[in-house]
Structure 1
Amino acid sequence: MSDQQNLLAEQRRALILDEVRRRGGVRVNELTRRLNVSDMTVRRDLDALARQGVVEKVHGGAVPVAEATTHEPGFEAKSVLELSAKEDIARAAVRMAARGAAIAVAGGTTAFALAQRLVDIPDLTVVTNSVRVADVFHTNRHSMSANGPQARPGAATVVLTGGVRTPSDTLVGPVADAAIRSLHFDVLFIGVHGISVEAGLSTPNLAEAETNRHFVRSARRVVVLADHTKWGTVGLSSFATLDDVHVLVTDGGLPPRARAEIAERLPELVVAEARGGDGARA
């Protein structure tokens, strides 16, 4: 299967998952009509989503999986969800990183999308607890010349915190916490498992929650990266309140009522535009 076909399959599955969550369930024949694909294609998509643990197949269709507050999907499972929204968010958020700044980038798939754009900003110092984010910068650190690989001028200085690896490929625990406590960041970019008025920012992983608290305390400015599906989701442990957040960058799928609630509580809400643009601020 080609890269383009893979991408189309990922986009289709993201649409199916969004429909399942929005409606509480879908039927195969409804999806074949809406997506203009075969019955077999829809069933393969539902099989793939069921293997990722995000839907449960039932006779004739699928329903959402009722996730416990302690459930933490792995990086690969999350990486295929809301792809276009994550790219839109990354495109808007990268404008908040200035040349020469000291920034922190916490773990998660949206932060991973952002990292792929941050590599073009010169002279950054990047502290991260994400193995995936660190790999992005490492891969882009060198360019080819007649004399072989050469370090790119202005390539970021990257500090990987160390710690115990989680299912989402982030490093947490006392080693990570000690490293973060000793540092100070101009901006923190952080993804979340869930965000709500009552619970604030939350995660299903207790150790990750503690590491995230240190990130938030060490940053002058906290920028949260969260697609619309994260609003109203609550994980086991809260690590910050909405009062700790300076900017929320989300996508156009966030309902108007949620936008109004957020705009009342945060200094800045950025709704990223699809396929370009740098986002609408509220």
Structure 2
Amino acid sequence: MSENQHLLAEQRRALILDEVRRRGGVRVNELTRKLNVSDMTIRRDLDALARQGMLAKVHGGAVPVVEASTHEPGFEAKSGLELTAKEDIARAAAELVAPGRAIALSGGTTTFALAQHLLDVPDLTVVTNSVRVADVFHSAQRTSGQRQGAATVVLTGGVRTPSDSLVGPVADQAIASLHFDVLFLGVHGISVEAGLSTPNLAEAETNRRLVQSARRVVVVADHTKWGTVGLSSFAALEQVDTLVTDAGLPAEARAEVSDHLRQLVIAGEPGEPGEPGESGESGEATGA
């Protein structure tokens, strides 16, 4: 299957998911007419979305999966979802990072993908509360040795969450004493009404501290996060400078996002995501 065909399949599934969420359920024959594809194609799409836990199949169609706002999937459960989208987002977000900057990466599978694209950016200082993100940099240094220009990684302490983030008072105190040029933030959910949200109360507070310590906030989130609301909101959309997402985000959602954010980057589509140096002048993480 070619890359274009794969992207089209992801876009089609995003539209199916949007229909299911908006209408509370859809029938296969309705989707075949709306999307002008075969019955078999729609059934394959529903199978794929059901395997990802995005919807529930019923006889002749599909309905939404209703999850508790406190449900928090583990890192492994999330790591296999939307792989192409996350890779596109990571590649686009990495273009926003200039050498010598002090950046922060929150926990999450998309920031984990981003970390792998930052290994060759020289002289970075990376603050993170993600065990997985820290491991990306440490593993690279163990493999290639402590080369000149390798990133300096500051891993906060804290209590480990199911998504392998470190949260709580220890993490909050460490983050509050630092200032960084750009924060790359993964989220559980994003919406106009709830802003950025997570099912984990302690993680919400730690994310709040990350946002407060950043000169620029970049959210990295695939299209399936749009419209999802976790138990605790930790930032309004107006506190976000840039959203980097994928081509699966529907047109209506793009319009809503653009009304509230300074910059929307659709990874995998034409257009420059921004100049690497626009995130601030200082390249050091400094004490408060």
TM-score, normalized by the shorter chain, greater than 0.5: yes
**Which residue identity is paired with 1:94?**
A
Gaps of 5+ in 2: 21-25, 33-37, 276-288
Structure 2 letter corresponding to 1:128? T
For structure 1, the 5+ residue unaligned runs are 5-9, 145-149
Give the letter for the 1:105 counterpart: L
Deviations 1:146-169 (A, max 9, x none): xxxx31221101111011111111
What is the Cα deviation at residue 104 of structure 1? 0.4
Q: Provide the alpha-carbon RMSD of the alignment.
A: 3.2
Q: Which residue of 2 aligns with 1:34?
A: 41
The count of corresponding residues between Structure 1 and Structure 2 is 261
Q: For 1:78 and 1:171, locate their aligned partners in 2 and report how far apart those are by CA, in whole Å.
A: 17
- Which deviates the most, 208-217 or 13-22? 13-22
Provide the C-alpha distance between the structure 2 equivalents of 1:212 and 1:187, rounded to a whole number of angstroms. 14
The answer to whether residue 268 in structure 2 is matched with residue 273 in structure 1 is yes
**Structure-2 residue corresponding to 1:101:** 101
Render the CA deviation track for 1:49-97: whole Å, top value 9, x for unaligned.
Answer: 7787555455677644211111111111111111111111111111111
Q: CA deviation at 1:107?
A: 0.6
Q: What is the match of residue 7 of structure 1?
A: none
Tell me the alpha carbon deviations over residues 97-144 of structure 1, each in whole angstroms, 9 at most, x when there is no partner. Answer: 111111100011111110110111011010101111111111111445
Give 1:257 shift. 1.7
2:218 to 212, 216, 223: 223
What is the Cα deviation at residue 23 of structure 1?
4.4
Counterparts of 1:30-109 in structure 2 under 5 Å? 33-34=40-41, 54-56=54-56, 58=58, 63-109=63-109
SS in 2 for 1:151: coil
CA distance in 1, matches of 2:122, 2:140: 12
| CA displacement at 1:15 relative to structure 2 | 8.2
Distance in 2 of aligned mates of 1:88 and 1:53: 22
Distance 1:17 1:205, change over 3 A: farther
- Seen in structure 2, the aligned counterparts of structure 1 residues 278 and 143 have a Cα distance that, compared at 3 Å, is farther
Partner of 1:129: 129
TM-score where L is the length of structure 1: 0.80
Change (3 A) 1:202 1:63: same
How many percent identity over aligned positions?
Answer: 66
Distance 1:57 1:191 in 2: 28
Matching of residue 21 in structure 1 with residue 21 in structure 2 = no
Question: How many Å separate the matches in 2 of 1:129 and 1:18?
Answer: 30
Q: In the TM superposition, what are the counterparts of 1:1-12 in structure 2 within 5 Å?
A: none
Per-residue CA deviations over 1:241-268 (Å, capped at 9, x if unaligned) read 1121111111111112221222122111
Q: Conserved in 1, the CA contact under 8 Å of 2:11 and 2:248?
A: no
